[in-house]
Copies of this chain bind each other. A is one copy, B any other.
Amino acid sequence: MISKEEKFPIAKRYNVADVQVSRDATAVKPVVVVNLIKKAKNPVLITGGSLLREEKLVEIAVKFYEKGIPVIATGGSSKPLIEKGVKPLFKTYTLHQITQFLLDEDFKPNGKSFDVVLFLGFLPYYLSRMLSALKHFSSITTIAIDEFYHPHAKFSFTNLTKDKEMHYAMLEEILSRI
């Protein structure tokens, strides 16, 4: 009811913890993701089990890999990826384990810590918990690029469940610019 133009105080609840607290993900468009990846010192793409059911996601992940972004494959997603020539950094550990590792500053599988992590192809409720852990206990920039908006991420695609094609188009847009 209050439009942004008016200089009006924002509706800040009396207690931040009443109803909700903390940061919600910033909903972003592909171009923002592109910038984040470009600025990253050591980005990584983590893929999940949806790749076993959704071939397009495999294709996308392969392209990320081909653009030089290392891939950690979980949930069995390594299988289609390896078939397409990807050599994932890891294929044995679950996202649960990988997240535990990411929380540790000593985790440097390719020589340095990951500062930007992209997530593709996960059961949303499973990914959500991992994003929550990373939000609270690490300074990693997490980017969810699945079809569901992920509030616990630092950046997330908005909700795209109505339009799978839009989701794919957005992923392709990222790939075309990095």
Which A146-178 residues sit within 8 Å CB-CB of chain B?
148-152, 156, 158-160, 162-163, 166
Say whether A32 faces chain B, with CB atoms less than 8 Å apart: yes
Say whether A110 faces chain B, with CB atoms less than 8 Å apart: no
Give the residues in chain B near A151, CB-CB below 8 Å: 13, 18-20
Say whether A24 faces chain B, with CB atoms less than 8 Å apart: yes
CA A143 – CA B18 in complex, angstroms?
Answer: 17
Chain B residue nearest in CB terms to A146: B14
Say whether A63 faces chain B, with CB atoms less than 8 Å apart: no
Q: Known: A19-B20, A26-B1, A128-B18. Contact between A11 and B158, CB under 8 A? A: yes
Q: Known: A150-B14, A151-B19. Contact between A9 and B159, CB under 8 A? A: yes
Q: Check if B128 sits within 8 Å of A8, measured CB to CB.
A: no
Give the residues in chain B near A156, CB-CB below 8 Å: 11
CA A129 – CA B22 in complex, angstroms?
Answer: 20
CA A158 – CA B14 in complex, angstroms?
Answer: 10
Q: Check if B159 sits within 8 Å of A15, measured CB to CB.
A: no
Give the residues in chain B near A29, CB-CB below 8 Å: 1-2, 8
Give the residues in chain B near A28, CB-CB below 8 Å: 1-2
Interface pairs A-B: 7 shortest CB-CB: A14-B124, A14-B148, A11-B27, A20-B20, A12-B159, A11-B149, A11-B158
* Chain A interface residues (CB < 8 Å from chain B): 1-2, 8-15, 18-20, 22, 24-29, 32, 124-125, 128, 148-152, 156, 158-160, 162-163, 166
